[in-house]
Amino acid sequence: MSKIPIVPVHAASELARYAARIVDRGLAAGPGGNISAREGNRIWISPSGYPLDMIEGDDWVPMDIATGRVERSEPRPSSEFEMHLEIYRARPDVNAVVHTHPPITIGVISAGIREIPPMFPDFVAIAGAIGAIDYVVPCSPELAAAVRTEIADPAMSALLMRNHGLLTVGASVREAYYRTEVIEEAARIFWVARSVGTPQVLTPADSAAIL
């Protein structure tokens, strides 16, 4: 019988820190959202049905990236594990995936707006290239395939998912999380600016000067 993996302390600590922050910042509600990190040939992913701020060290679920095998019986992995696995398979440079339901971002992209424009310098410096997909049924193989198609491009750091949420990737959980936070902040600023006037977004020249 193979040995059941134990989540490394540093991985559990980092995952728990940013999972709790997701809830604290209102980026997911109830058992919504999911988060994972790569460790060698496996990932550690949030369990199904758990609020992100209630996950303890041994709750993180190990999965083999290549085969998709769940490496222990309980708890079950997030129901959206397929899209996480597809990202790790397509992007060796990605070590963390954060999927959230940020309300302002969802509201903006579900109102027919296909992108969150650059509203402030940190957005340009941190968010990276952002793709977008139309609504696809959550937890489905079709969603996993759509996500992989967009995120397979090494330049992509985030994906807007109409009527669903936001997905960000990074070399670390911290990097992926920060991208989530600045994208939601940009969506908030854009929403406010549009409600009172015409948003003044950063130009390509402005962005190039920041990068």
- Please identify which of the residues 14, 80, 181, 185 carries the catalytic annotation: 80
- Measured distance CA(53)–CA(162) in Å, rounded: 25
DSSP state of 105: H
Return the exposure string of 176-201: e unless at least 16 CB atoms fall within 10 Å of the residue's CB, then b: bbbbbbbbbbbbbbbbeeeeeeeeeb
Measured at the CA of 84, the angle between CA 80 and CA 90, to 5 degrees, comes to 145
Task: Examine the residue annotation and report whether 74 is marked as an active-site residue of this protein.
Answer: no
3-state SS class at 54: helix
Give the catalytic positions in this structure. 80
